[in-house]
Structure 1
């Protein structure tokens, strides 16, 4: 059975938790305490030298060390239900929206949080190398995040799902990203009616409680 390295409060492993639940992939979980920087210790570095979560150790030994790898493996090993689309156009639309959410939502949140949080001083980027905070990046991140929320709400008008007519990994990424925006005090407002309606539909899926 695969071993999943997790941290309950972090957004990146939440994406993988939801994916594994949607695919019905049985696994055991090991908590890696990012709050105490356990990810930087020798024991976890031996598992994932990138010092990040999630990571997924497969039954035959290889370790997948990021969401992209976990997603690609899960879709190939467990093709049902398809979360990366079925037709060439669906695959393209899902890949495009997944990348856009990572760049226009997740990245700005990370910039706003990691460049201001006192507990992340000299830890402005995840991984084994320390980087100094740049407060100006936080300001830009908040501006980008607000712009994305507005554009995303408009995109969701008349749509049930983010990218295609079916639930996909783009919905997973968007749920986790927009939920995580609360850490920088950004939440959809009452005027974001399409985004709020989509999020309410997503909440009906049991995986979203993870």
Structure 2
């Protein structure tokens, strides 16, 4: 296997943390967007969208989209379980992972893509969209604070892919000026727990 990686990408980070939690060793090839390799015919055969991450299997088969890659790795390496163990747990993990992706990570990524110089000339930027995304993410932090009351982790009693998605989102938020306030103690306590795990540095 080989992972085509974009170090600054929160989606790629999600996969790296997942791999680290599983204790797997998968070689990585870091993609430099400035070279344009991601738009080359060679790379587009791996992922027609030209994005990262991509997991390439030994037979040349490729899997893109971070959740799909994690699902594949979970099936091959079920321990430790990061997507739930029972039908109900799996449903809750999927529910919360989607919430963290759609309601927190995606708006923060939108703010970054539309407002950061890194994306100038690579993606069409609409600066007016940045405050819309920031406000969306801020509202999401409000209800996440409530949801974490009395809980150590987001979806179940154990660390899961929902926590991975959320911690990548929170990290992205720091780059666009969206942070949990000092009064949001549940989020801050959760953040301390998840970032103390060795995988957080993946």
Name the structure 2 match of 1:77: 76
* Conserved 8 A contact 1:114-1:123: no
Q: Show CA shifts across 1:47-87 (max 9, x none).
A: 22211111111123211111122011111111111111011
Q: Does 2:156 correspond to 1:164?
A: yes
TM-score (norm 1): 0.89
Write the distance in 2 (CA, Å) between the matches of 1:123 and 1:146: 27
Q: Alignment length, in residue pairs? A: 202
Q: Does 2:141 correspond to 1:142?
A: no
Q: What's the offset of the Cα at 1:123?
A: 4.4
> Secondary structure of 1:145's partner?
helix
Name the structure 2 match of 1:4: 3
Alignment partner of 2:174 out of 174, 182, 186: 182
Name the structure 2 match of 1:94: 93
Deviates more, 1:43-52 or 1:151-160: 43-52
Write the distance in 2 (CA, Å) between the matches of 1:19 and 1:167: 11
> Secondary structure of 1:47's partner?
coil
Q: What's the offset of the Cα at 1:122?
A: 5.9
TM-score (norm 2): 0.93
> Secondary structure of 1:56's partner?
strand
Specify every segment of 5 or more residues in structure 2 that has no aligned partner in the other structure, as ranges. none
Name the structure 2 match of 1:193: 185
RMSD across aligned positions (CA):
1.6
